[in-house]
């Protein structure tokens, strides 16, 4: 790239971004990379294989249910409710892609050493009404990265409203570090990246949010 650029990723794509080569990128923004940290149990090691076998057997709905119940840990009553909703057919149509996510995430552990090596300014964002495990994941990732900032979009779920996320990304990527110093000039200001901010401690809030939960205009917590 001729000019430094920014790179953003959401859920498992955020893991790819965090683990990728970053040559030419001056900033990163990651929304809810889905690592399982602390006391949250990791998905079974054969998760990708399970998805493929269920889809191959024509059991796309069961593959989606496995994702919701076994991987994410949603309660049975919510899964039953989800299967009765008009949008369930869309989930089944995408069931074959669940294996791709599982392959990318491997054992779903946070790559702490790799994260510690990423020195570009990084924004780690989560939704205030999202799953508890992604709150812990976002906190742990921000703590592991030496130049990370944490933000939370209040009342936003894992299926974030683009209208709530876009202004946060625009603000972050617009606030760019200044140009490198020119040895021929002595009066040019050079702006250092923002210092890292410790991850926010969050109390547990019970069950994950539901798609039926209202999600009004988002406010942002820094």
| pTM attached to this predicted model | 0.68
Distance in angstroms (rounded) separating the CA atoms of residues 31 and 71:
19
- What tens digit of pLDDT does each residue of 195-210 get? 333 333 333 333 333 3
8-state DSSP, 184: T
Instruction: Calculate mean pLDDT across residues 149-156.
Output: 94
Sign for the pseudo-dihedral over CA of 172, 174, 175, 176: positive
- The domain 5-40+108-221 belongs to what CATH superfamily? Alpha/Beta hydrolase fold, catalytic domain (3.40.50.1820)
**Token pair 């057997």 is at which residue?**
57
- Please give the order of strands across the beta sheet that includes 25-31: 5-9, 25-31, 122-127, 148-153, 220-221
Higher pLDDT, 98 or 13: 98
Domain ranges in the chain with CATH number 3.40.50.1820: 5-40+108-221
Give the separation between CA 129 and CA 151, rounded to whole angstroms. Answer: 13
């Amino acid at each position: 790239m001729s000019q430094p650029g920014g790179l953003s990723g959401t859920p498992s794509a955020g893991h790819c971004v965090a683990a990728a080569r970053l040559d030419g990128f001056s900033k990163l923004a990651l929304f809810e990379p889905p690592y399982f940290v602390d006391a949250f149990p990791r998905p079974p090691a054969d998760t990708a294989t399970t998805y493929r076998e269920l889809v191959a057997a024509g059991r796309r709905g069961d593959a989606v249910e496995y994702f919701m119940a076994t991987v994410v840990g949603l309660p049975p009553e919510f899964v039953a409710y989800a299967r009765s909703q008009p949008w369930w057919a869309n989930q089944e149509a995408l069931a074959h892609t669940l294996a791709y996510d599982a392959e990318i995430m491997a054992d779903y552990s946070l790559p702490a050493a790799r994260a510690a090596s990423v020195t570009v300014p990084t924004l780690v964002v989560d939704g205030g009404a999202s799953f508890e495990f992604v709150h812990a994941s976002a906190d742990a990732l921000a703590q592991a990265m030496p130049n990370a900032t944490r933000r939370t979009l209040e009342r936003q779920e894992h299926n974030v409203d683009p209208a709530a996320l876009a202004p946060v990304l625009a603000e972050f990527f617009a606030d760019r570090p200044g140009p490198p110093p020119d040895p021929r000039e002595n009066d040019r200001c050079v702006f250092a990246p923002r210092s890292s901010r410790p991850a926010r401690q969050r109390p547990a809030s019970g069950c994950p949010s539901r798609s039926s939960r209202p999600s009004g205009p988002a406010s942002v917590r820094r």
